[in-house]
Structure 1
Amino acid sequence: MIKIKKCLNQSLVGVSVFATLSALPSIALANTTAITSPNTDPYQAIRLDSQAIKLNPIGSSNSEAITQNVTSVSQLSDVRPTDWAFTALQSLVERYGCIAGYPDRTFRGNQATSRYEFAAGLNACLDKINEIISAGLADKVSKEDLATLQKLQEEFAAELATLRGRVDSLDAKVAKLEAQQFSTTTKLSGEVIFGAVAASGGLTNGKSNIVFGDRLRLVLNTSFTGKDLLRTRLEAGNLFATNNTNPAGIAGVLNSNMSRFGFASGVPATANVGSLNLLFYRFPAFDGKMHFFAGPIAAPDDFFTQITPFASSGQGSISRFGRFDPFFRIGGTSSLIGAEYKFDDKVNLQVGYSAGSAAIASGDGGLFGGTTSIAAQFLFKLANNLDTSVSYAHTYLPNGSLNTGLVNVEQPFGAFATKTNLLSGNLVWRMNPSITFSTSGTVIFADTPTLGASTTFTTWIAGFNFPNLFREGSTGAILFGQPLKNSNTATATPYHLELFYRYQLNKNISITPGIFWVFNPESSSANATATVGLIRTTFSF
């Protein structure tokens, strides 16, 4: 290290700056190699950019790479003219351009650096000076600078040779992986759920056997530009939860859609038969300020953002009611086009137009012939730990059914065409790292011009989520709310109470035991309390 100090003291090419390079998770200097932090093997994982190789350690707690090019030392917010290395850093940046900063335009030069990081910085300046000489601008480089670099190159000959040799080896491995990968544009992910479910009570005061079944989803995410997304999802399963219209499911035994669990799939006629149940394309415009969405097979919840922590059917609430409010379900539409505008980091607007099936038997489906809905949602980030949303949807229902799957009687006026106006609000408050509170409320105004009649549906829910309860990655939750209630027909107010604990066994497997009760199911005190207990095991890959 004595040799290094002698070289640094010369402060010729601004080499003294290298002593200020902190022990960063990775260093990137002007289109050259980025090296990982000391005390880790820097060759565990790689990512190729257009002109730079960044080596990031697997499992690193901070994989932030330095990629922000700096053309003036004044662009580095944490470097001041009074700093001891200011002049040297200024020389490196403005004379040779071989320093880059973090994305937040900081340099972070107050910690020690490793020999590998030092060698990476040295290699960057060597490459830049070679470019200057090759361009016939040798007079721009002083003899003193070259002498200093030569001494440093000799001192770090072993590290430089190691870096270049290993990068060449990694280049070969990357080329092999790219040649053998499934696709250069598409990534495959999947989710498998094993579910054991039992229930009792409800309208029939029935009791089900313990049902053990599955649901499989395979998702292909394709990007052609790196910023767009084409998503294709295939699904198969044999867990059913339909009511008396299809009594094979748990909810059919109890004859109440209020007892539906959240990860049900398909109908008995298609048990474990694969189908394409999601297809959309999303792409940015206007420098990312807007995103457009087109989904010939898509529901509102595939486009509109759900801020609740309970939305996922594989990781969130165990009940259908607990996942999210009716705004994301009303009409049962199956295709959607939409646009999202980002005002700033705190306000987003999403607008969508959705329609029912284009292939219904009457031929009245499609974008304008069947069930249609126009909806909008404002998303507000009131604080770092507080998110809210306000939503509106106007829906036309030619057969009179809300089609939410949350209540048995969804045709308040029979089969007469119905119009609805829905208003809903959501709030999520992360009270501290261990407790999150969320709540939502929805009111639906329904009327039929044919009969001149109207009614109102209401629903609300509140819950506490406990991240990392007992184990990192695991979650406990309690939810309480009122399922969808028709003000014209209800003789009692229904209530829903839910408890579950998602135990994260490892990164890819979680086990969720849970139970929920529905009091006064289907808004009648004459019906027995519905009880649904289950164990959900989710495999994700």
Structure 2
Amino acid sequence: MFKFRWNFQWVVLFIALLDALGLLVLNPAISWANTPESSASSESTDSLILSPIKDTPEQTQETVPKDKQDNNYLLNQMTPLSDILSPVNRRSNTSKPRDKNSAASQVNSVSQLSDIKPTDWAFRALQSLVERYGAIAGYTDGTFKGDRALTRHEFASGLNVALDRLNEIITSSTADLVKREDLDTIKKLQQEFSPELATLRGRVDAVDTRVAILESQQFSTTVKLTGRAQIVLGSLLAGDNVVTRQAAPRTVTLQDALTLRLNASFTGKDSLGITLGGGSIESLGQTGAGLLGTYDGRTADNANITRPRNDFSLNGVRYRFPATPNTQINIYALSDGANELGFTVPINPYFESSLATGSNGISRFSRRALVYQYGDNGGGIAILQKLNNQFQLGVAYSAPNSNSPALNNGLFTGRYLALGQILYTSPQKNFRAALTYVNTYSPPNAVGQSGTNFGPAAGSNLVNSTVPGTGTVANLYGIQAFYQLSPKFAINGWVSYAAHRYLGRGDGQAMDWAVGLAFPDLGKKGSLGGLFVGMAPKLTSLSNNVNLGAGLGQADRDTSLHIEGFYQYKIANNIEITPGFIWVTAPDSNVSNPDSLFAWVRSVYRF
């Protein structure tokens, strides 16, 4: 075996050459680096197939009759490569965009390869392959990259290309250029690698079959469909209805929700998003017919109270596109205006809701500060401007009842929210902070999709109340921050302030604050632990001549604390189960109300 390798150094060089993933010219477009098999992880079954080349015991050379010692006889003794590797030849004609690592055209001299020097041990072998057989190509940057690793399958593919080249030489009446010992060596190589060639043919055939199936069954060539299904097991463990003063039912429920998102792009940089959904998840915190009679402790992901349960309907339509390299515009006919700014990073990443990642808290309050809560769903426009690598400016205008032509409704004459925000992100991407301002107005007796006339739809009843027949204006101010102290620990927090004006009647003030602790990869990679403590929105003061239902000048008397914990356990890449709890002290900001406590187990399936 040693003698064989010494006499045919170009064969060894040939192996290093093929490391460039199919760079033997005749079919330079073959790039095994782009196939699904080559990109599979080392833990996949492919690692058993793509084993390294091993030395084999030297074999006895076959005796060739003297009267048949010519090139044609030797070539005829070889198994036709077209029978073994025909799928490779078919796929090699596929047009693919080239990058800096793609093969260039045939080189005419080894000196054209910038990283090959006359002092290299393989220089003569390369020179021979270039000048005698024309079977060497380089990368588009003029390099050969002969020090990269090679699999046996890649070598088998390259060997097939070389044989095709030899066949061309012979059929073009230049057979004298091919030495008999070279053909004899190639015959041995073909015999040794015939199992790999056969395996490769099977794998390529399987890929062709899978591609054909995907092409016939794909949803659309331009639209991507993603979805999230939720199954929620929940029950109130303690607490009264703050309106009736009666114990709330301790009923265990099993509920559901489904969300589908269609994303399309027309230019590659824009995005059309259409969201559909429905479900039966009842919010444990809800005014009126709600279980507790207050928004304190309101759960998230619950069904829209203005629609029937499990009514699957359109929830959002949004088109996002870049006006300039640093300016993004979002136009939405139906969406949540406060969340349509489209910042490149979320301010509260471990508690905010996300269709893709699902890292989120159980309650509405743990996901958003008061300053974002007044918007409700509707139509509008948002613009995001990148100032530099650290600062982004966003503005948004949203009208919850923009689709209604009725009096005191519409895009500009009804309820609206105008938001401005500046976001700072540190160069290390581990710290971010935002300053937010919102101006909002609600006409008399207007009702949004959350069922409220005005307010954050979280916290106490008074902070969500208005004077009947009176329009309401508010100016909201908020500051939020997030800090990733380590890969497994992060902290976030906010403080918000709201100044309400009940037109022609008087003023009120509201506040909230919160601190959240997140523990990524807790117990298992991809899992998440969360602990959240805060004061949900409450009315801190009210003018003496304003009555919101509790008496003239009566604001919330006490402070209600919201305490929440959850553990999002990652079962598989697309499956999580999240047990958690919400504990609210002095619900509705009234110390005379007993604490409420309920448990929540959410299972999420993404597809």
Q: Same fold (TM over 0.5)?
A: yes
Q: Report the more deviating stretch, 153-162 or 358-367.
A: 153-162
Q: CA deviation at 1:321?
A: 1.0
List per-residue Cα deviations over 1:48-105 (Å, max 9, x = no partner): 9995689xxxxxxxxxx98755889xxxxxx8999969989x999xx9765489xxx9
- Match for 2:310: what amino acid? N
Go from structure 1 to structure 2 and tell me whether the alpha carbon gap of 1:472 and 1:516 turns closer, same or farther (over 3 Å shift): same
Are 1:540 and 2:599 matched, yes or no? no
Go from structure 1 to structure 2 and tell me whether the alpha carbon gap of 1:2 and 1:399 turns closer, same or farther (over 3 Å shift): farther
Structure 1 counterpart SS, 2:572: coil
Go from structure 1 to structure 2 and tell me whether the alpha carbon gap of 1:122 and 1:429 turns closer, same or farther (over 3 Å shift): farther
Partner Cα distance (2:486, 2:309) in 1: 43
Are 1:308 and 2:346 matched, yes or no? no
Aligned positions of 1:267-346 closer than 5 A: 267=305, 270-284=308-322, 286=324, 289-299=326-336, 300-305=338-343, 306=346, 307-312=348-353, 315-342=359-386, 346=390
Q: Tell me if the contact between 2:457 and 2:464 (Cα under 8 Å) persists in the aligned partners.
A: no
Find 1:496's aligned residue among 557, 562, 585: 562
Find 1:178's aligned residue among 215, 226, 230: 215
Are 1:442 and 2:508 matched, yes or no? no
Go from structure 1 to structure 2 and tell me whether the alpha carbon gap of 1:208 and 1:39 turns closer, same or farther (over 3 Å shift): closer
Q: Tell me if the contact between 1:215 and 1:238 (Cα under 8 Å) persists in the aligned partners.
A: yes
Aligned positions of 1:130-209 closer than 5 A: 151=186, 154=190, 159=196, 162-163=199-200, 166-184=203-221, 185-201=223-239, 203=242, 204=245, 206-209=247-250
Q: CA deviation at 1:188?
A: 4.3
Partner Cα distance (1:357, 1:517) in 2: 34
Partner Cα distance (1:29, 1:412) in 2: 71
Are 1:396 and 2:440 matched, yes or no? yes
- Match for 1:294: what amino acid? I
Structure 1 counterpart SS, 2:214: helix
Q: CA deviation at 1:418?
A: 0.6
Are 1:232 and 2:281 matched, yes or no? no
- Match for 2:420: what amino acid? A
Are 1:216 and 2:216 matched, yes or no? no
Q: Tell me if the contact between 1:29 and 1:100 (Cα under 8 Å) persists in the aligned partners.
A: no
Partner Cα distance (2:43, 2:178) in 1: 36
**Residue of structure 2 in register with 1:246 after alignment:** 288
**Residue of structure 2 in register with 1:137 after alignment:** none
The structure carrying a bigger strand percent of its residues is 1
Partner Cα distance (1:39, 1:498) in 2: 39
- Match for 1:32: what amino acid? S
Q: Tell me if the contact between 1:33 and 1:120 (Cα under 8 Å) persists in the aligned partners.
A: no
Q: CA deviation at 1:245?
A: 4.2
Partner Cα distance (1:494, 1:237) in 2: 30
Find 1:259's aligned residue among 275, 297, 317: 297
Are 1:463 and 2:501 matched, yes or no? no
Structure 1 counterpart SS, 2:384: strand
Go from structure 1 to structure 2 and tell me whether the alpha carbon gap of 1:345 and 1:199 turns closer, same or farther (over 3 Å shift): farther
Find 2:480's aligned residue among 412, 417, 425: 425
- Structure 2: which 5+ residue stretches go unaligned? 22-26, 50-90, 106-114, 130-134, 170-176, 445-452, 542-554
Q: CA deviation at 1:296?
A: 0.8
- Match for 1:267: what amino acid? I
- Match for 2:497: what amino acid? I
- Match for 2:473: what amino acid? T
Q: CA deviation at 1:497?
A: 1.2
Structure 1 counterpart SS, 2:283: coil
Are 1:387 and 2:387 matched, yes or no? no
Q: Tell me if the contact between 1:462 and 1:479 (Cα under 8 Å) persists in the aligned partners.
A: yes
Partner Cα distance (1:363, 1:405) in 2: 24
Percent identity reads 24
Partner Cα distance (1:114, 1:475) in 2: 39
- Match for 1:229: what amino acid? S
- Structure 1: which 5+ residue stretches go unaligned? 23-27, 55-64, 73-78, 134-141
Are 1:374 and 2:418 matched, yes or no? yes
Partner Cα distance (2:427, 2:404) in 1: 46
Q: Tell me if the contact between 2:476 and 2:497 (Cα under 8 Å) persists in the aligned partners.
A: yes
Go from structure 1 to structure 2 and tell me whether the alpha carbon gap of 1:490 and 1:19 turns closer, same or farther (over 3 Å shift): same
Q: Tell me if the contact between 2:30 and 2:92 (Cα under 8 Å) persists in the aligned partners.
A: no
Q: CA deviation at 1:160?
A: 5.3
Partner Cα distance (2:92, 2:492) in 1: 43
Go from structure 1 to structure 2 and tell me whether the alpha carbon gap of 1:100 and 1:427 turns closer, same or farther (over 3 Å shift): farther
Structure 2 counterpart SS, 1:425: strand
Q: Tell me if the contact between 1:423 and 1:442 (Cα under 8 Å) persists in the aligned partners.
A: yes
Structure 1 counterpart SS, 2:32: coil
Go from structure 1 to structure 2 and tell me whether the alpha carbon gap of 1:7 and 1:280 turns closer, same or farther (over 3 Å shift): farther
**Residue of structure 2 in register with 1:526 after alignment:** 592
Structure 2 counterpart SS, 1:257: coil
- Match for 2:283: what amino acid? A
Partner Cα distance (1:108, 1:342) in 2: 44
- Match for 1:173: what amino acid? R
Go from structure 1 to structure 2 and tell me whether the alpha carbon gap of 1:326 and 1:99 turns closer, same or farther (over 3 Å shift): farther
**Residue of structure 2 in register with 1:515 after alignment:** 581
Q: CA deviation at 1:470?
A: 2.7
Partner Cα distance (1:452, 1:109) in 2: 81
**Residue of structure 2 in register with 1:482 after alignment:** 535
Partner Cα distance (1:2, 1:208) in 2: 85
Go from structure 1 to structure 2 and tell me whether the alpha carbon gap of 1:449 and 1:506 turns closer, same or farther (over 3 Å shift): closer
Q: CA deviation at 1:419?
A: 3.2
Find 1:505's aligned residue among 571, 586, 592: 571
TM-score, scaled to structure 2: 0.67
- Match for 2:587: what amino acid? P
Structure 2 counterpart SS, 1:330: coil
Go from structure 1 to structure 2 and tell me whether the alpha carbon gap of 1:323 and 1:40 turns closer, same or farther (over 3 Å shift): closer
Q: Tell me if the contact between 2:15 and 2:155 (Cα under 8 Å) persists in the aligned partners.
A: no
Partner Cα distance (2:226, 2:274) in 1: 10
Are 1:33 and 2:39 matched, yes or no? no
- Match for 2:153: what amino acid? Y
Go from structure 1 to structure 2 and tell me whether the alpha carbon gap of 1:312 and 1:179 turns closer, same or farther (over 3 Å shift): same
Go from structure 1 to structure 2 and tell me whether the alpha carbon gap of 1:411 and 1:182 turns closer, same or farther (over 3 Å shift): closer
List per-residue Cα deviations over 1:149-182 (Å, max 9, x = no partner): x959857666456545643552343123212333
Q: Tell me if the contact between 2:340 and 2:396 (Cα under 8 Å) persists in the aligned partners.
A: no
Q: CA deviation at 1:219?
A: 1.1
Structure 1 counterpart SS, 2:302: coil
Q: Tell me if the contact between 1:331 and 1:397 (Cα under 8 Å) persists in the aligned partners.
A: no
